[in-house]
Amino acid sequence: MMHARNGTHWVMLSFLVALVLTVLPLPTVFNQARPAFVLLTLVYWVLALPHRYGIFVAFAVGLALDVISGKMLGLHALLLAVLAYICIKQYSRVRMFTQPMQAAFVLLLVGLSLLLQLWIENAVRPVSIRASYWWPALTSGLLWFLWFPLLRGLRRRLQIS
Amino acid sequence: MLVAVASALVLMVLDHRGDHVAGIRAGLATSVTPVMYVASVPSSFYAWFTGSIAARAELQRENEQLKHEQFSYRTQLQRLTALEAENARLRGLLASSRKTRGKRMIAEVISVDLEPTEQQVLVNKGSQHGIYEGQAVLDAFGVLGQVTEVAVTTARVLLLTDSRHAIPVRVERTGFNAIAEGTGAMNRLRLNFVPNSTDVREGDLLVSSGLGERFPDGYPVGQIETIRRDSGEAYAEIDVVTAARMERSGEVLLLWPPQSWQPAPVSEITP
């Protein structure tokens, strides 16, 4: 089946905005609870257009995120690829969810990625975390109520497909 | 899926086990540099805005104060030049290696939030300015950290306080050598493996000892804040406050290793 390829640059722009938001200076309290903007954006595009945005886009975006955050090269690439895989397997189901259920799904995804990240980093060298390590999962879940309508509005208006 | 996971794992192993992917890393870091600059726009705009609406009287006062400070520093620098010359001459007499100041360069910190769990900053000088990995970085008050990643126009600096970082230091009063490790908390270090019976006091100044050959010798690192001696333990627990003010480092100084000795010109520091 052929699909029209519309608005790839808009999708790239949304990822760039998400990357900028990832490093935007915020007060310390908000910094610890910063939502995983890139992850939210990725989850949206994979759920909305699973035939176009999948594991390899996630991998590329993850590499950019690794370099920006100064982590081991490939860490976020792996995490985002795994999340994209889950989303691709589940997209037809998740699309039927009500919005609170979708937010819970996103919360679980972000929580899973934080957990995997902790495991991988801990395997390399011992890390100590505080409870605030998990806040991004919560704030990402909450932000979904805003981020989802925003990106959906963008997709419909610009007819990205 | 398997391809992606496998290549991610390979990348991670290569990156962790050595510098096999340093080229890829530097290239990627350079390509995401614009993101960093865009993200720093709001705070630099705020700084510009508050700077441009400052009252004239305030500016005059600040100017006056800066002139005074510069004058006093200039006079101190005269003495320093003479002392350095004397030091080099004495070292020559002792037939030990001559060490003086190398090249230095001022860089600005790009205000972006990196990982909250890690202590690192981004500065606006990179490989095109000759920055290299492992280079020592100072701020106006003391040693700040070292360069860990270099892109073309930016470099990432790992701060002393990161829990992955350790620096060899010397207690200035007694000459005792120790290693100060980062704690992950702002402006806090810890001295490890200092025996209980060692002569250290609260308030002692720590300077870099230069033993690791990464940081230059004799720059202030911190001051001992508290010492807890437990007679059941072999080592004392020693907390250190860093000399560098990490929460407000706007400008940093990058050091190059010392060259063979020559009299230091006054206008050596290039902006």
**B205 in a domain, yes or no?**
yes
- Segment B146-171, tens digit of pLDDT: 998 888 888 999 999 888 899 999 99
- Segment A2-24, tens digit of pLDDT: 455 677 888 999 999 999 888 88
Weakest mean pLDDT among B91-100, B119-128, B190-199, B246-255: B91-100
Mean pLDDT of chain A: 88
| Portion 62-81 of A in contact with B at CB < 8 A | 62-64, 66-75, 77-78, 81
Q: How far apart are CA A94 and CA A83, in angstroms?
A: 13
Does B28 contact A128 at a Cβ distance shorter than 8 Å?
Answer: no
Print the domain residue range for B250. 103-259
Q: How far apart are CA A8 and CA A16, in angstroms?
A: 12
pLDDT over 60 (residue B266): no
What pLDDT is attached to residue B247? 76
**Cβ atoms of residues A86 and A109 within 8 Å:** yes
> How confident is residue A153, by pLDDT bands cut at 50, 70 and 90?
very high
The residue in chain A having the minimum alpha-carbon distance to the alpha carbon of residue B10 is A74
**B35 in a domain, yes or no?**
no
**B92 in a domain, yes or no?**
no
**Burial (0-12, 13-18, 19+ Cβ within 10 Å), B151:** buried
ipTM of the prediction greater than 0.90, yes or no:
no
Length of chain B counted residue by residue? 271
Closest Cα in chain B, distance from residue A131 (Å):
12
Closest C-alpha among A33, A35, A62 to residue A46:
A62
Does A73 contact B111 at a Cβ distance shorter than 8 Å?
Answer: no
Q: What is the mean pLDDT of residues A75-88?
A: 92
Does B16 contact A72 at a Cβ distance shorter than 8 Å?
Answer: yes
Helices (H) and strands (E) in chain B, counts: 4, 12
pLDDT top residue among A27 and B195: B195
Q: How far apart are CA A82 and CA A108, in angstroms?
A: 13
Q: How far apart are CA B147 and CA A160, in angstroms?
A: 42
Helix H or strand E encompassing B149: strand B143-150
Q: Which residues of A touch B16 (CB under 8 A)?
A: 72, 124
**B94 in a domain, yes or no?**
no
- Segment B4-28, tens digit of pLDDT: 788 888 878 777 776 667 777 888 8
* Prediction pTM value: 0.78
Count of domains observed in chain B: 1
Strand partners, B171: B206
pLDDT top residue among A42 and B49: A42
Cα three-residue angle A129-A131-A135, rounded to 5 degrees: 110
Give the domain CATH number at B130.
Answer: 2.40.10.340
* B41 interfacial to chain A (CB closer than 8 Å): no
Interface test with A, best of B2, B3, B5, B110 (most A CBs within 10 A): B5
CA-atom Rg of chain B in angstroms: 21
What pLDDT is attached to residue B9? 82
Q: Where are the domains of chain A?
A: 8-17+34-158
